[in-house]
Structure 1
Amino acid sequence: MKLQLPGQSLVLLIGPSGSGRSTLASRHFPPTDVLSESSGSTSPEATLHADVAARLARGAFTVIDGVPLSAESRKRWMALAREHHVPLVAVVLDLPEALLLERNRLRPGTSARGLRNQVQQLQNALRSLPKEGFKHIHVLTPEAVDAVEFERQRVPSHRQDEHGPFDIIGDIHGCFEELKALLTKLGYAVAPRADGARGFDVGVPAGRKVVFLGDLIDRGPGVTEVLRLVMGMVEAGTALCVPGNHEIKLLKKLRGKDVRVARGLAMTLEQLEREPPEFSGAVADFIEARSPHYVLDDGRLVVAHAGLKESMHGRDSTEMRDFALYGETTGEADAYGLPVRADWAEQYRGSAVVVYGHTSVPEAEWVHNTVCLDTGCVFGGKLTALRYPERELVSVPALREHWQSRKPLHPAP
């Protein structure tokens, strides 16, 4: 029995006295990864909290042995995990009361009445954990305790060993002809597949790799061609791709969720309907497999569709995913009825270069080591790439205005 644990997470071992938490911890985790909240701990509560916070701040996998069974105790660990954007995992040892009573018979300080109270608290916890925000809950019976193995998963965003050089391309929105022109200008060779299958063979110059910043779809005329090219390059290992908010909405629709189909998405669905049925399934699988952001080049480069604050680099949390996909808004609307974006880039002071798209700008400009590459190609602007590490911006003009934006790309002076 092999259980997957996120490689960067806070793991709580939960169980009554005598359930074997410490034995499980010593058998499966290095001692340096395990901290204790048991009553006999040499670390007072405040010190333990500070120690765990310091470990999570540097991204260290951390196990806490002996978490009290109260919801209040779990609540403070949930808050700490959210603060550091790491998943919180519950490993629950659910053993029969009779076995626990036998194990505790000779233990000092544990009465049968107290143990029965702990067993009841554990059953309450099992019902409550999903409502408390735990996304990873593993319940171990006596048989499972003996058979279990834990395997740490690589954090999907961690690609520090990829050094490029990269060509990072902003929001395409179905502008296939412009994408071909930009890739050609960057030195790539795009041609129909030699085997006659639908798709493209892309020749890559000098070992470079493309990074697509999401929003491949909607609004433009060549959505399926863009998808075939990007999916083919990712499969061939010559590209990376993060999803945009438009892909996530399409994924929900393709998976049967109830979503509002606006005109842009309707165009994508119409183009997909002209494809073989299995293509839509492949598109959904492709989107679902993408990481919301990547940390590349030994941490010197971060890519995300809508950007990412430094505290979220390389992390995995709901807040990180939402920021990477949608950015941050002030809660206000501008004169065009569009949400006002919070200027996170103006506050950014991180050492990593952050490259993103999502919000159309007339020109790609550097702001505190960040740059937005969405230059509104589908709105009649241009399609822009950043050559990294050269920091060279390369663009091609839109062939025409494919979609009229409510907000002008070049506002009147």
Structure 2
Amino acid sequence: MKLTIPELAVVALVGPSGSGKSSFARKHFRPTEVLSSDFCRGLVSDEENSQAATNDAFEVLYFIASKRLTTGKLVVIDATNVQVEARKPIIALARQFHCIPVAIVFDLPEKLCHERNRNRPDRDFGPHVIRQQSQQLRRSLRNLQREGFRRVHILHSPEEVDAAEIVREPLWNNLKHERGPFDIIGDVHGCLDELVELLTQLGYSVEKQSNTAGSLGYSVKPPEGRKVVFLGDLVDRGPKIPEVLRLVIGMVQAGTALCVPGNHDIKLMRKLRGKDVQITHGLADSLQQLNKESPEFRAQVSDFLDELVSHYVLDEGKLVVAHAGMKEEMQGRGSGKVRDFALY
């Protein structure tokens, strides 16, 4: 059973005492990635079970978590986290550092948790505590995504816990393995002839093809090892907006170009999807020209623009590309605020 998490995330382990969270954390994460509330209680009071030290312990925990996230390190929070009030700071932390919040839930039988705690001399609380935690967990299950967790993985049995495998996936904007050299092209705004002339001067071979089934109409061959990075605003104002889109979409699909969105592109995409937007700043030109195209092509354009990633981190982190810019603390992160900053 594969549990996929982003390479940069705040992971909350959620479950009653005795559900196996700490054992799971030791098995699947580096010791430095796991921040345990019990350990932090011990740090501030010399007693891991001291409930009187809970507030100070979580203050330490979130301080360390903030420092890790500042430097782009994964954080795993090992606490019961069965109450909505306990999870709110986790969501807030992820939002503050533009990371994806993930919940891994241990919805194991209450009886099993009781039995495990009876065998632990450091757990001297009664069965009513596990019962209450289990009830709080089950009340929470349906609301975790509504609270803000972008990914929720629920484990229902010891067998599922044992079979679980953590798979870390790179963020969509992580293209550090792409080393270039890159030819970076800014706002094209529907000016096909100028774009083709520029590509030709840069050493690219651009050939127009007949629009056969599956063909977008252009074949672009780059110089050896080179790749174009389009910085968005492909549309509006210019005389050949559909042709620019055909050329760029074809290059991205062929792997000879990358593309990030501009604010004009996103506004067009929203209009194509029926949203109420103001027809200003050249959008009327895009709509007029695209209305002459097939519904299938308009849908392809809408999907392409919607799937563009806000920015890319390239060449082992030495190069960051975005339409409008990108703060250092936002680079390589993913959130609505990051996307908006990249656009505007």
Higher helix share: 2
Residue 48 of structure 2 is matched in structure 1 by none
Residue 150 of structure 2 is matched in structure 1 by 135
Q: What SS does the corresponding residue of 1:322 show, helix, strand or coil?
A: helix
What do residues 197-221 of structure 1 show as CA deviations (whole Å, max 9, x unaligned)? Answer: 4421123235322110111123322
Q: Does 1:176 align with 2:176?
A: no
Q: Does 1:125 align with 2:143?
A: no
Residue 14 of structure 1 is matched in structure 2 by 14
Residue 293 of structure 2 is matched in structure 1 by 275
Shift of 1:153: 0.9
Higher relative contact order (CA 8 A, sep 6+): 2
Q: Does 1:80 align with 2:93?
A: yes
Tell me: CA distance 1:270–1:4, structure 2 relative to 1, closer, same or farther (3 Å).
farther
Which whole-Å CA distance do the structure 2 matches of 1:270 and 1:95 have between them? 58
Q: What SS does the corresponding residue of 1:205 show, helix, strand or coil?
A: coil
Q: What SS does the corresponding residue of 2:312 show, helix, strand or coil?
A: strand
Shift of 1:127: 4.3
Give the alignment's TM-score, normalised by structure 1. Answer: 0.71
Q: What SS does the corresponding residue of 1:42 show, helix, strand or coil?
A: helix
Which whole-Å CA distance do the structure 1 matches of 2:292 and 2:161 have between them? 52
Residue 151 of structure 1 is matched in structure 2 by 167
Residue 249 of structure 1 is matched in structure 2 by 267
Report if aligned partners of 1:191, 1:201 keep a CA contact under 8 Å in 2.
Answer: yes
Which whole-Å CA distance do the structure 2 matches of 1:39 and 1:51 have between them? 12
Residue 259 of structure 1 is matched in structure 2 by 276
Residue 220 of structure 2 is matched in structure 1 by 202
Q: How do 1:2-401 residues align onto structure 2 when only pairs under 5 Å count?
A: 2-38=2-38, 41-44=41-44, 45=57, 46-107=59-120, 108-142=123-157, 144-193=160-209, 197-254=215-272, 256-260=273-277, 262=279, 264-326=282-344
Which whole-Å CA distance do the structure 2 matches of 1:172 and 1:211 have between them? 12
Report if aligned partners of 2:15, 2:82 keep a CA contact under 8 Å in 1.
Answer: yes
Point out where structure 2 has 5 or more consecutive residues left out of the alignment. 45-56
Q: What SS does the corresponding residue of 2:105 show, helix, strand or coil?
A: strand
Which whole-Å CA distance do the structure 2 matches of 1:40 and 1:60 have between them? 19
Q: What SS does the corresponding residue of 2:313 show, helix, strand or coil?
A: strand
Which whole-Å CA distance do the structure 1 matches of 2:43 and 2:246 have between them? 56
Amino acid at match of 1:245: N
Amino acid at match of 2:125: T
Q: What SS does the corresponding residue of 1:214 show, helix, strand or coil?
A: coil
Amino acid at match of 2:138: Q
Amino acid at match of 2:259: C
Aligned length: 325
Which whole-Å CA distance do the structure 2 matches of 1:162 and 1:114 have between them? 52
Shift of 1:320: 0.9
Which whole-Å CA distance do the structure 1 matches of 2:90 and 2:228 have between them? 39
Which whole-Å CA distance do the structure 2 matches of 1:317 and 1:37 have between them? 27
Shift of 1:317: 2.0
Report if aligned partners of 1:249, 1:259 keep a CA contact under 8 Å in 2.
Answer: no
Shift of 1:227: 1.0
Amino acid at match of 1:292: S
RMSD, aligned CA: 2.5
Which whole-Å CA distance do the structure 1 matches of 2:30 and 2:144 have between them? 26
Tell me: CA distance 1:23–1:173, structure 2 relative to 1, closer, same or farther (3 Å).
same
Shift of 1:57: 1.4
Which whole-Å CA distance do the structure 2 matches of 1:69 and 1:38 have between them? 15
Report if aligned partners of 1:36, 1:65 keep a CA contact under 8 Å in 2.
Answer: yes
Identity of aligned residues (%): 52
Q: What SS does the corresponding residue of 2:171 show, helix, strand or coil?
A: coil
Point out where structure 1 has 5 or more consecutive residues left out of the alignment. 327-413
Q: What SS does the corresponding residue of 1:278 show, helix, strand or coil?
A: helix
Give the alignment's TM-score, normalised by structure 2. Answer: 0.84
Q: Which runs of 4+ in 1 moved over 6 A?
A: none
Shift of 1:16: 0.6
Which whole-Å CA distance do the structure 1 matches of 2:300 and 2:275 have between them? 20
Q: What SS does the corresponding residue of 2:3 show, helix, strand or coil?
A: strand
